Structure 1
Amino acid sequence: MIGAIWREVPGIVGLALPIVMGLAASTLIGVTDSVMLAPLGPVPLAAVGLTGAVAVLFYAAIYGLLSALSVRIGAAWGAGAGLAIPGILRSGLALGALVGVGSAVLMAALWPLLPLLRQPEEVVGAMRAYWFWICAFLIPFAVLTVFKSAFEAVDRPWLGTAFAFLGVVINVPLNYALIWGIGPLPQLGLTGAGLASFLAETLALLAAYLWWRLAPSMRRLRLRRQVALRDMGVTFREGAPLGAMYVVETASVSVATLMIGAFGTVALAGNQVAQAVGGVLYMLPLGVAGAVAIRVAQERGAANMGALRPIALAAVVVAGVWLVAAAVALALEGEAIARLVTDDPEVVAVAAAIFLVFAPMQISDAVQSAMLGSLRGLSDTAWPAVVSAIAYWPVALPLGYALAHWGGMGPSGIWAGYILALAAAGVALTLRFWRRTALLGDGA
């Protein structure tokens, strides 16, 4: 078993690295907004954090639902059924457009609820236009996610990463121009950051579409021209539980952010700094989950059941090494890391305290993410959604509230409740995967 695990590590790393970088690219757009708006003070920084806390629900739902495409395409690729892939992709693009528009409309409809959630008035008053530009951002984000999933599943993951980073590269000069004003352009501040993010993601999507339509290497992915409603239905049915699971998880994170908002603007700004850094770190386990899902799906499609457990354990090793290193860095250098984003001493102090809690969370997250991706590769998504609902809501949030208010930990206590939740979810998902692979004939 050890030799089999070791042989799988390079494959997991080779697939996870571009997936991680592609996922980090979408997060880096928010990080770019935070860094470039930080000189304007804590209010715009808190506005980015509050908007992101809600938008991440939709990012998670979109990613979860549409990532079922990578499993379907990966299984077809592993089985040698390449002729089925163009139909899955085209139907996925249609589904992605529908999901993106629906998500944008739904997020926009949530705007009137913000004043009811006890958030700082000066933050809510400054962020209306930024909020609605991020709503619009969800549409190109959803369709680009479909292209990335397809490229990853057919062993072209760096292609999806290139288009994701194209959006980040475009966003930097657009942000500068629209936040501060260059030449005839007005100084739009926070609103300019939202508009820049939307334009950058749209241009990256256009580049991916043109590549798919014109590049000779993409011929195998565009043979079939009609959109099959049946393919859309299958993808939706497989992806809906996964999307719900990510929503359950990220909704609890968003609620945690709203709970931190009750501690004031400085606490919310410090949490945004910590979340910006933690979000980038989280891309590694999320990328490993995507990589192991594709590898498990490919081997399942090839009927190579003996490879499933070594693939899953190799993913745990890869995620574990990275996250232990991240935990040490957060624990020892939290203040220095926070100062890379802002020089406000109060905001830095809050962020550094949250980093101390984030450190042990990283270790628990290694197992949880790897096993979650392994089960996704088996098209097992409904049961993990139930596990997430139980772990994150009845466990993490009440415990975090108690530690923050009754335990005297303040904003960092909200996140302390997640340590136990992630550990419990990791154990439950591991037992589930082991039982499922035993039923598939992968040994006892």
Structure 2
Amino acid sequence: MLDIRYSSILKMALPMMLSGFIQSVISITDAAFLSRYSTLAYDASGSAGLWYITLYMVFMGLGDGAQIAMAQKVGEKNSKGFVAVFQSNFIILVIAAALLTLLVQLCMPTLMGYMVTNHELAHAEQSFLEIRSYSFWAATITISIQASYLAVGKTSLVLVASLIAAISNIILDYFLIFGIGPFPRLGLEGAAIASTTAEFLAMLFLLSTLIGGRLKNEYPIWKERLISKFQLKENLKIGVPLLFQGMVALSIWTIFFIWIEQMGGDNLTVSLNIRYVYFLAFIPIWGFAAATKTYIAQYFGANQLDKLQLIQGRIQLLTIGFLLLTFHGAILYPEALIRLVSEKPEHIEESAQILRIVSGSILIYGFGSVYFQTISGIGRTRITFLVECLSTALYILSAYLFIKVWKWQLQWVWLVEYVYFITMGLSSLIYLKLSNWTKEEKAQLLKK
């Protein structure tokens, strides 16, 4: 079981932060290449990318649920239970991949035509999504293995997989978008092919580490079939709320960007600039979020509930410290950050102004997310789903008022980020402080 020294927390979180940084590099690289190809390709990849991430949250939610369940089995020293969770999660992900692929191929064209006012943009987004949907099949293996590695604190291999994806994506982007050498000039579709191919290469690496690695000796994943109706239900019980939680959050953000596109002008392009750079701030938050879930779940599984508050405090301190280290440019030199994804002077100044305005919301998110992830780590994912629903409901109501009713300028519309992050953090803290979850969970542990 992981110890709770600062160095041990960093040892687990740093590879995940670097992995998040690499994923941001992939997004920024796509944006930088496509912005130099055409504005239509740039806008389509940004908008369709939100749709893709929203659907991908099905895999992330189920994977997070499996990570929590497997980490609890580590704390309980239950190797067969660990394997049962892993195998059941893989079966569920295969079913999810089949359903989501059908959704993108059959239903998204109609939905895209209805939601997006620019028909040329809608067609471009659909062509991008159709190619990216094949990545769902890579996710069945990638997310299953990644969840098991995160549950035991083995994050370095996840980092290497991200490096493989990033390097291959950048190289393929360069050749396929612009048609260098023998490769055809594919533009937006080239970017989609590059990203999909990169994800399959990362998946093959992770699969090879699982087949040839030592994890299978401690947890005999292949030796016997431990899938059961009971375990499938337990996986879904934890994972489905996380699935819907992620999808609700990102689908609401997608609606937010659709409304911005409907504002007309350059508002969508400017907002996409913010989105790409904004994700840099999420790097330490997501890294420490993964660490929080694993630490809380392991110590909860071991019935060491008195350590949970200490874990929270240490992770919060580290999160804020790393946010100040990695995202201070949003306040001090935002123009330089925006130039990473856009070179158009008319967009840089407005984008930088908005980035300064929203930067404070990131610090609020970093602090409050630890409380939110604590609730997930103890397995109360239905509560986190309710917190997510409350936060997104207030978010979309505020966005509707700011954009549709009061018709604010774009820079003030982005204040909705404060509404979301304050609601999420405050609601999570209130639940942990005022509910009787400790007594309930202790009683459940005694029954085991």
Superposed pair shares fold, TM > 0.5: yes
Q: Distance in 1 between matches of 2:24 and 2:58?
A: 15
Match of 1:240 in 2: 240
Letter in 2 for 1:105: L
d(CA) in 2 for partners of 1:233 and 1:438? 24
SS at structure 1 position matched to 2:181 = coil
Cα displacement (A) at 1:408: 5.8
In structure 2, C-alpha distance between the alignment counterparts of 1:346 and 1:43, rounded to whole Å: 17
User: What is the aligned partner in structure 1 of residue 446 from structure 2?
Assistant: none
Q: Partners of 1:104 and 1:286 in 2: how far apart?
A: 27
Contact 1:69 1:235 in 2 (8 A): yes
- Structure 2, gaps ≥5 residues long: 443-448
Conserved 8 A contact 2:312-2:370: yes
- Quote the residue 1:429 is aligned against: 428
The two structures, once aligned, show a CA RMSD in angstroms of 2.4
2: distance between equivalents of 1:47 and 1:291? 34
The CA deviation at 1:142 is 4.2
Asked whether the 8 Å contact 1:175–1:196 carries over to 2, the reply is yes
CA distance in 2, matches of 1:335, 1:169: 26
* Structure 1: tracts of 5 or more residues without a match: 1-5
Q: Please identify, of 244-253 and 313-322, the stretch whose mean Cα deviation from structure 2 is larger.
A: 313-322
Once the two structures are superposed, what CA deviation does each residue of 1:135-160 show, in whole Å capped at 9, x if it has no partner?
Answer: 22233134312211111111211112
Alignment of 1:287-326 (within 5 A): 287-325=287-325
Aligned residues: 436
Distance 1:310 1:208 in 2: 33
Q: Take 1:408 and 1:223, find their aligned partners in 2: how far apart are those partners?
A: 58
1-side partners of 2:13 and 2:271: how far apart?
28
Match of 1:376 in 2: 376
Contact 1:291 1:373 in 2 (8 A): no
Task: Report the equivalent of 2:18.
Answer: 21
CA contact (8 A) 1:130 1:194 kept: yes
User: Against the structure 1 CA distance between its residues 137 and 29, is the aligned structure 2 distance closer, same or farther, given a 3 Å change threshold?
Assistant: farther
Worse overlay, 119-128 or 187-196: 119-128
The share of aligned pairs that are identical, in percent, is 18
Asked if 1:399 corresponds to 2:398, the answer is: yes
Match of 1:48 in 2: 45
Distance 1:97 1:283, change over 3 A: farther
Give secondary structure in 2 for the equivalent of 1:295.
helix
Provide closer, same or farther for how the CA distance between residues 201 and 191 of structure 1 changes in structure 2, counting only shifts above 3 A: same
Q: Would the aligned equivalents of 1:364 and 1:423 in 2 still touch at CA under 8 Å?
A: yes
- Shift in CA distance, 217/149, structure 1 to aligned 2, threshold 3 Å: closer
Contact 2:295 2:311 in 1 (8 A): yes
For 1:357 and 1:141, how far apart are their aligned partners in 2? 35
> Is the 1:312–1:371 Cα contact (8 Å) retained in structure 2?
yes
Pairing 1:415–2:419 present: no
* Contact kept? 1:375, 1:381, Cα under 8 Å: yes
> For the residues of structure 1 that align with 2:329 and 2:31, how far apart are their CA atoms?
21
TM-score, L = length of structure 2: 0.90
How far, CA to CA, are the matches of 2:314 and 2:161 in structure 1?
Answer: 28
Return the letter of the residue paired with 1:233.
Answer: K
User: Is residue 58 from structure 1 mapped to residue 55 from structure 2 by the alignment?
Assistant: yes
Alpha-carbon separation, structure 2, partners of 1:203 and 1:265:
39
2: CA distance, partners of 1:100 / 1:60: 12
Residues 107, 436 of structure 1: alpha-carbon distance in 2 compared, 3 angstrom cutoff? farther
CA distance in 1, matches of 2:300, 2:184: 55
Q: Could you tell me how far 1:229 is from its partner in structure 2?
A: 3.3
Q: Secondary structure at the match of 2:414?
A: helix
1:27 CA displacement: 4.4
